[in-house]
């Protein structure tokens, strides 16, 4: 018997027919995003798979290694999911430096800028008044509470920024096609 190569533990039968990116794409298409992230060699796809798996910190780290408009935009989405709105705003700005007429990046930047807390040194402007509500705690007397309209809209926005890689690539190719036409 001959000795097995040192990389035998990393070798898989599928490696004979499919590249790691192809294997990652299959796992991704089957909804196994965490496994896809471990298979993808392409860092952009790895970041997208991590994002879809809910691993926003890992996705943000991977996207930070890339210097493209898409990577900065996706990093902004991941950072926004983590609640790091100031860093998300910086990523959206970086995306807009590379692609100035990107409406989604402009919209996301405007949303996260509203969520950035004002500096304590600067005088604060009055914020929009919150709606008054009454809450009933399991048959007890209700008590007055406030709902912050900005926070509620931010949560709705955060739920709405899920972007599939198919949508991402469709948007990317459409923009490239539009730029290529005279």
Give this prediction's pTM. 0.58
What is the arithmetic mean of pLDDT over 148-171?
A: 62
pLDDT reported for residue 66: 95
What is the arithmetic mean of pLDDT over 165-176?
A: 66
Hey, which of 32-46, 56-70, 115-129, 136-150 has the most confident mean pLDDT? Answer: 56-70
Burial (CB count <10 Å: 0-12, 13-18, 19+), residue 68:
middle
Contact predicate 28/36, CB 8 Å: yes
Contact predicate 43/64, CB 8 Å: no
Q: Which residues contact 94 (CB under 8 A, 6 or more apart)?
A: 72
- Check whether 135 has a pLDDT greater than 80: no
CA-based nearest residue to 80, from 121, 114, 30: 114
**Per-residue pLDDT tens for 87-133?**
999 999 999 999 999 999 999 999 999 988 877 444 455 455 555 55
- Check whether 162 has a pLDDT greater than 70: no
Contact predicate 48/67, CB 8 Å: no
Mean pLDDT (the chain) is 76
pLDDT reported for residue 25: 84
**Per-residue pLDDT tens for 4-41?**
443 444 556 555 567 777 877 888 899 889 998 898 88
Residue with tokens 């900005």: 150
- Residue 178: CB atoms within 10 Å: 9
């Amino acid at each position: 018997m001959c000795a097995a190569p040192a990389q035998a533990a990393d070798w898989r039968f599928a490696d004979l027919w499919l590249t790691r990116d192809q294997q990652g794409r299959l796992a991704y298409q089957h909804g196994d995003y965490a496994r896809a992230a471990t298979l993808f060699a392409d860092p952009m796809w790895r970041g997208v798979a991590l994002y879809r798996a809910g691993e926003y910190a890992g996705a943000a780290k991977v996207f930070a290694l890339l210097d493209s408009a898409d990577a900065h935009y996706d990093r902004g989405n991941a950072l926004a999911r983590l609640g790091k709105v100031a860093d998300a705003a910086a990523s959206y700005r970086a995306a807009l430096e590379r692609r100035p007429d990107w409406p989604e990046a402009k919209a996301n930047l405007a949303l996260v800028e509203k969520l950035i807390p004002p500096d304590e040194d600067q005088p604060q402007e009055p914020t929009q008044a919150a709606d008054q509500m009454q809450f009933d705690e399991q048959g007890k007397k209700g008590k007055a509470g406030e709902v912050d309209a900005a926070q509620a809209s931010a949560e709705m926005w955060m739920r709405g920024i899920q972007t599939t890689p198919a949508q991402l690539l469709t948007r990317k190719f459409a923009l490239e096609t539009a730029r290529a036409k005279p």
